Amino acid sequence: MPTHTHQRVLAASLVLALACTAAAQQPTPAAPDPVATLVGRLSLERYKATIKGLTQFGDRRQGTERNRKAVDWIEAQLKSYGCTNTERIKYIYDPTGAPPAHRYPSQAHAPGEAVIGPGGARERGNIFPDRVNEDPMKQPDPVLRALDTPPSVPGEREEVYCTKVGTKHPDQMYILGAHMDGIGWGEAANDDGSGTALVMELARIFSSPDVTTDISIRFALWNNEETGLNGAAAYVAQRKDLQGIESPAGSGKYPEPKWLGMVQHDMMMFDHGMPHPDGTMSKTQRPEADINIEYQVTSKFADAAMLLARNFQLADDKYADTYPAAVGPHMTNTDSTPFMNETPSLSLREVERGSQMAAGWDPQHHQPTDVYSFYSDDDFRLGLNSAETTLGAIGTLAGAKLTPAK
């Protein structure tokens, strides 16, 4: 079979030629990965300290002085990190007559009947209710109870963001978000101090004077998530039609760069597994704990969001030191929802929102036990790994580079 032999010889020559070429080249050391350097600037102690700083304002319930003080504190921190171009969204929140948000009445289900949770996810196994605590006396700490006592008053609300301006594409951006308000008569340490601290830490790292990005990145700390995503919805309503407009014309400035994606971080720390049959939980982070990256399969940008989610999962492989990441299609009940028909949108969490959180996998959710002192370093580290994942993914997608500090 001469032809076959001839092909083999050709193939062998090709291999030899490639080998010779490789041998002839000087081994070039791989260029250091700037994104890995940036990920190395995260630390568990800094992440914990930022969460701790947020908890000084108790539950940060929207429409209270403690919430407004928390917005001021967040803005001061962003400026101190070098993210000095802070801006605020203002909107009115008046729930008079509106039904309360975040209520999922528990229903009885026949054995074997599929239980469908929020976002279209199927709940399985031991399913327990996920409720909001509204009883002040369930908070055992009188100082914290007093701090959380002044009620929300309808009226004007504010939320803050700042932006890392891209050097090549200042007209395009990724939005990284978390909500700074909470409920439940605790400290909202996990919900959502953990996501707010993550976004603030990324603002700190990307704002370092030796870091440039090709594409802009906006760091947004939403208010009024707990009342029904009102702060994020106000942002979308006020700013979606401003995307990509240079203003003033010819200035090279884009107050609202075109949205390339929105990534929300909401409850990043507690993955102790499914409730036991008696409703108790494992006291420790499960060794298999993972980061749950969710998109919404019914959204307009579902396919693009799925690809973005895979980018995040691969960034976790590359940059997150302890915990893996999984991708799911039922993103729901968080500030990425108002964005999901405008741009590819994701949510990162400790567990899946619809199938797991709604089935009782986080008994601190909206409860007096959601306080800083409740969590162990294994819990905090899951949040840190999410920070590593988002920093790795967005640093890569936005073209982050290191330049000599001026």
Q: Which residues bind Zn ion (CB under 5 A)?
A: 191-192, 266
Distance (Å, whole) CA 249 – CA 193: 39
Beta bridge partners of 262: 175, 345
Question: Is 156:202 a contact under the CB 8 Å cutoff?
Answer: no
Query: How many Cβ atoms are within 10 Å of 92's Cβ, its own excluded?
Result: 10
Residue placing its CB nearer to Zn ion in the complex, 38 or 221: 221
Q: In the complex, what is the shortest distance from the CB of residue 396 to Zn ion, in angstroms, rounded to a whole number? A: 27
Query: b/e for 96-128, b at 16 or more Cβ within 10 A?
Result: eeeeebbeeeeeeeeeeeeeebbbebebeeebb
Residue placing its CB nearer to Zn ion in the complex, 165 or 340: 340
Residue placing its CB nearer to Zn ion in the complex, 34 or 184: 184
Measured CA distances, 222 to 41, 139, 156 (Å): 25, 25, 14
Query: How many Cβ atoms are within 10 Å of 235's Cβ, its own excluded?
Result: 25
Residue placing its CB nearer to Zn ion in the complex, 266 or 362: 266
Q: In the complex, what is the shortest distance from the CB of residue 253 to Zn ion, in angstroms, rounded to a whole number? A: 33
Residue placing its CB nearer to Zn ion in the complex, 172 or 223: 223
Q: Specify the residue for token string 């976004």.
A: 199
Q: In the complex, what is the shortest distance from the CB of residue 336 to Zn ion, in angstroms, rounded to a whole number? A: 11
Q: In the complex, what is the shortest distance from the CB of residue 293 to Zn ion, in angstroms, rounded to a whole number? A: 16
Measured CA distances, 311 to 60, 158, 195, 317, 394 (Å): 33, 32, 19, 10, 9
In the chain, the N- to C-terminal Cα span, in Å, equals 68
Residues in the chain, how many?
406
Residue placing its CB nearer to Zn ion in the complex, 170 or 228: 228
Residue placing its CB nearer to Zn ion in the complex, 77 or 333: 333
Measured CA distances, 289 to 244, 385, 387 (Å): 39, 11, 15
| Structure token digits, residue 293 | 């990256």
Residue placing its CB nearer to Zn ion in the complex, 285 or 347: 347
Residue placing its CB nearer to Zn ion in the complex, 148 or 192: 192
Residue 85 has what DSSP assignment? -
Q: In the complex, what is the shortest distance from the CB of residue 214 to Zn ion, in angstroms, rounded to a whole number? A: 31
Measured CA distances, 176 to 157, 215, 217, 370, 379 (Å): 20, 13, 7, 23, 22
Q: In the complex, what is the shortest distance from the CB of residue 371 to Zn ion, in angstroms, rounded to a whole number? A: 15
DSSP reduced 3-state for 116: strand
